[in-house]
Amino acid sequence: MSQWDYIQKRGALRYGTQTSLLSYFEDGSSRAGYEYQILKSFCDSNGLKLEVIPYDNNGQLFNDLKSGIIDLAGGHLTVTKKRLEHFKFTQPINNTSVSLVTHYDYRDIEDLSELAGATGYLIKGSSYVELLNQFAADQRDHIVISEVHSLFDIIREINSKNIDFTLGDSEIIAIYQNFIPGLYTPIQVSNNQKVALMARRVQSDRLLQKLNQFITEGQRLGLFEDYKQNLLHYIPDIDTANTVTFFNKLKSNWPIVKHWVYEVADEMGFDAMLLAAMSYQESHWELDATSITGVKGLMMLTRFTAKEMGVKDRIDPVQSLRGGIKYFRKMKNKLPQRIRDTDRTKLALAAYNMGYGHLEDARILTQRQGKNPDLWNDVKNFLPQLNKPAVAKTLKHGAADGKTARTYVENIMIYRKLMAWQQQKEKNN
């Protein structure tokens, strides 16, 4: 019986991978990833379910593939001679190369020998380790082969200059460079390499035949390029200066507050990553945060809002988080039920920031201009109009800082994406 026969009998294909946008990623209730989209389409066309099993490291991933616990391994795996000794691969689904990733101090180097004395980290079980022979023997003494760091972890440490360099997949690094500042790739360490899905050496020929037929047809129709374009939605569009602060607070403050965020979100049936993003935007996760206007706590509640939401101590993290959720839900429940949830969430966040009456004024302005007051992408363009005295005089609730409210909402949605990445990492640890 071939592996394909077992898969059909089971009714599901089991795909193991480390998480990334190029493989598989959970964003709240949705799932994404270049490989995930390819395999989901393949399974749909063959009447199969796709079961995804995330892994922390390639060592366990490869062992489970060999033993048949999973049917395919992914994670943007390059086809190398060493891997071909133990596994088979599908036709290529992508091409990439390996680059040196470093910080400002080494941005202009032209040869790896210029890293003498620098500290490097490589991921155990990765194809990058196979390139160690490109470093001089004395340089290798300064390279740590880590099984506890992800590439994302190492890159953040490079950003902080705690680590000097690593090797990384050029396509993955290009994604991270969108929102992590201070990353440089001065040297391409490998030639172009093929990226493919990996299968067992035995009993996999029929599975590979089916997959290769699907890959050939998908590439012919341009579906795979569409899948890549879909990933752009998940790349945080944020000023890199803001991510420096965010990642610093993720390391220093998030470990202190995260158990409260998870507990309160679970208790109240609320999206934990949205609550994390809201509390970061409000207070940078400072428990005793206080503004010059007198708002306090993780959710920076006013004295009036706190009283209205039954919060007796605004500095108490649990009370603050509960109060924030209650107030957000109050804003959201005021909005017409016809508005789809993603738009209602963003509109409710704007109301949370500047008041429901001012949001209604912005929606009226939107409607006056023939746009849809139920769509965030339409309403957000009119929020800055609330800052103009001449316009404010024509509105029921007068002037408001609509510019800040717009930025507030968009920042929270960006931080929610970043927190989803963090949650994925915490799940895998």
Which amino acid, residue 413?
Answer: M
Burial 202-218 (b: 16+ CB within 10 A, else e): eebeebbebbeebbeeb
Distance, in Å, from the CA atom of 133 to the CA atom of 114, rounded to the nearest integer, reads 15
8 Å CB contact between 265 and 399: no
Angstrom distance (rounded) from CA 31 to CA 38: 12
Evaluate whether 406 touches 382 at the Cβ level (below 8 Å): no
Residue 89: partners with Cβ closer than 8 Å, 6 or more residues away: 77, 79, 83, 194, 196, 197, 198, 199
Beta-bridged to residue 121, according to DSSP, are 144
**d(Cα 343, Cα 355) in Å, to the nearest integer?**
17
Alpha carbon separation from 342 to 12, 287, 332, 383, 408 (Å, rounded): 31, 29, 11, 18, 16
End-to-end CA distance of the chain: 36
- 158, containing H or E segment: helix 151-159
- Using DSSP's 3-state secondary structure scheme, residue 64 falls into helix
Residue 280, both tokens: 């970061």
Contact (CB, 8 A) for 347 and 398: no
Exposure letters 52-90 (e unless 16+ CB within 10 A, then b)? bebbbbbeebbebbeeeebbbbbbbbbbeeebeeebbbb
* Other Cβ atoms closer than 10 A to 308: 14
Give catalytic residues, as residue numbers. Answer: 282
Beta bridge partners of 31: 26
**417, two tokens:** 């994406």
Residue 125 per-residue DSSP state: T
- Mapped onto helix, strand or coil, the DSSP state of residue 88 is strand
